[in-house]
Structure 1
Amino acid sequence: MNGMDAIESAQALVRELFPEAVAAFLGGSLARGRGTATSDLDVVVICRAPVEVRRENVGWQGRPAELFVHTAESVRTMFAWDRAAGVPTMASLCAEGLVLVSVDGCAEQVAEDARRTVTAGPAPLSPAALDALRYQVTDLRDDLLDARDPDERLAVAAVLHQQAAELLLGAAGIWRGKGKWLARALRAGAPDLADAYLTGYRTLAAGGPAAPFADAVAAVLARSGGPLREGDRRAAPPALLAGPA
């Protein structure tokens, strides 16, 4: 499916399933012209209240479609949640997506708010959250270098890969990512470290030595406040102290 086919298919989906929509966007790889045979249609649909706000997966014209159904108010709440989580999921879909439907300029208004959210960047990590990540990354790096079993080493590396990237980007106030977006976030936000970091991880995952990846993680720690072992302290949450209900 090429770009025009994807747009026409998504427009038909919105017309048939959401005739009441006041705005809709096609996001994801198909909107960027990078879709493959297995890419799904990522469609944000905005309706007037009352509507069931939801994420829903459906089949459409032989292709999976992931629908994000919102009101204008709930989609803006999602933008705020994106900032708090540090991952611009909904904001990027609306800021970069192709407009499928717009009633009275609704899509353009939502897209402008989404672009402002993306430009503002994520909410800063609290000192406690930053220290927690520093401790976790320090501890995981030690485990990686100590691991002798290759399966254990690979399992530790997979967790460390995500945590260290979150530390690097979060400490710098840069949007983070999950899954395939992690590598993209690293290349965009820390291009000077991304190549060594990602190459080191690929080398380890292919059965090579752990040292290159461990060295890249050490560089992440150095940039983010340094390793943290002694002195880490976190109080138990009140719910734990309250005992069972």
Structure 2
Amino acid sequence: MKEIKRLEPLQAATQFIFKHYPHCQGALLAGSVVRGEATHTSDLDIVIFDENFTSSFRESLIEFGWAIEVFAHSLTSYQAFFKSDCKRARPSLPRMISEGIILVDNGIVQSIKKEAAQLLEKGPEKWPEETIRLKRYFISDALDDLIGSSNTGESLFIANTLAYITHEFVLRTNGHWIGDSKWIVRSLNNYNKSFSKEFVEAFEIFYKTGSKVKVIQLVDKVLAPHGGRLFEGFSLGKE
């Protein structure tokens, strides 16, 4: 079978737009290739704006030697995604649009990019004290489960949960966006590279050796400014 030549990312994205969406009002190339973080498994993330789309949709294709992810929107549908992304504090679409390289712009993309950048700069909604207290309790509970666990398999997945909710806590209480999967570390780096390194090392030591000491120290450090671990006196839903 003849091998398909892989075009350069910008060239591939541009040809893809001309082939499939020649009449769109706007298009952007985003993702890891734009940030200079691409690996051999990276795909091309392409955001498209077209006034003829009746709804937003996502599509995956392989063309020009690339796996291509299409994020398609009308000229207004993206706003609902901006809103939901901000509510969950994971600004996937605003980040793609803000950092994206413009492929097509019939007078609408620059304003949408500005809107996205303003959302990113503003940061997520501040947690109320009630939410902080609730999150402290769940982190404390997961930490206690990890400390008391003697089952290796259970401990691995308790640690997974603890890593996620701890990263969420430290970022949200400091007014920063959170992440998921690889974006957990990226979001921690955006907040504080030194703390991110400490965070990764603590869980890496646990996964490699089973030692929980660094994880316990890390979680206690994160909780300390907000009153430390919480169990006694916690109540939820009581009339």
Q: TM-score, normalised by structure 2?
A: 0.91
Look up the SS of the partner of 1:67 in the other structure.
Answer: strand
Look up the SS of the partner of 2:230 in the other structure.
Answer: coil
Look up the SS of the partner of 1:72 in the other structure.
Answer: coil
Look up the SS of the partner of 1:100 in the other structure.
Answer: strand
Structure 2: segments with no counterpart, 5+ residues: 1-6
Superposed CA deviations along residues 83-123 of structure 1, whole A, max 9, x for unmatched, are 2111110010000111111002x111111111011101111
Q: Give the letter aligned to residue 130 of structure 1.
A: I
Q: How many residue pairs are counted as aligned between the two chains?
A: 233
From 63, 68, 72, the counterpart of 2:66: 63
Q: 1:223 to 1:72 in 2, by over 3 A?
A: farther
Contact 1:145 1:210 in 2 (8 A): yes
Contact 1:9 1:61 in 2 (8 A): yes
Q: Give the letter aligned to residue 76 of structure 1.
A: Q
Percent identity of paired positions between Structure 1 and Structure 2: 26
Q: 1:149 to 1:50 in 2, by over 3 A?
A: closer
From 120, 123, 133, the counterpart of 2:122: 120
Q: TM-score, normalised by structure 1?
A: 0.89
Q: Does 1:134 align with 2:133?
A: no
Point out the more displaced range, 51-60 or 8-17. Answer: 51-60
Pairing of 1:33-48 with structure 2 (within 5 A): 33-48=36-51
- Equivalent-residue separation in structure 2 for 1:50 and 1:98 (angstroms): 22
Structure 1: segments with no counterpart, 5+ residues: 237-245
Aligned position for 1:94? 97
Pairing of 1:106-185 with structure 2 (within 5 A): 106-185=108-187
- Equivalent-residue separation in structure 2 for 1:84 and 1:52 (angstroms): 21
Look up the SS of the partner of 1:159 in the other structure.
Answer: helix
- Equivalent-residue separation in structure 1 for 2:221 and 2:196 (angstroms): 11
Superposed CA deviations along residues 165-189 of structure 1, whole A, max 9, x for unmatched, are 0011111111111110101111221
- Equivalent-residue separation in structure 1 for 2:237 and 2:150 (angstroms): 33
Look up the SS of the partner of 2:59 in the other structure.
Answer: strand
Shift of 1:192: 4.3
From 218, 221, 228, the counterpart of 1:219: 221
From 205, 209, 233, the counterpart of 1:203: 205
Aligned position for 1:228? 230
Contact 1:23 1:100 in 2 (8 A): yes
Aligned position for 1:11? 14
Q: Does 1:103 align with 2:106?
A: yes
Contact 1:169 1:190 in 2 (8 A): no
Look up the SS of the partner of 2:211 in the other structure.
Answer: coil
Contact 1:168 1:224 in 2 (8 A): no
Aligned position for 2:3? none
Look up the SS of the partner of 1:42 in the other structure.
Answer: strand
Contact 2:48 2:71 in 1 (8 A): yes
Point out the more displaced range, 174-183 or 192-201. Answer: 192-201
Q: Give the letter aligned to residue 163 of structure 1.
A: I
Shift of 1:130: 2.3
- Equivalent-residue separation in structure 1 for 2:69 and 2:233 (angstroms): 45
Aligned position for 2:81? 78
- Equivalent-residue separation in structure 1 for 2:67 and 2:172 (angstroms): 33
Contact 2:126 2:175 in 1 (8 A): yes
Contact 1:22 1:103 in 2 (8 A): yes
Q: 1:95 to 1:225 in 2, by over 3 A?
A: farther
- Equivalent-residue separation in structure 2 for 1:234 and 1:66 (angstroms): 42
Contact 2:87 2:125 in 1 (8 A): yes
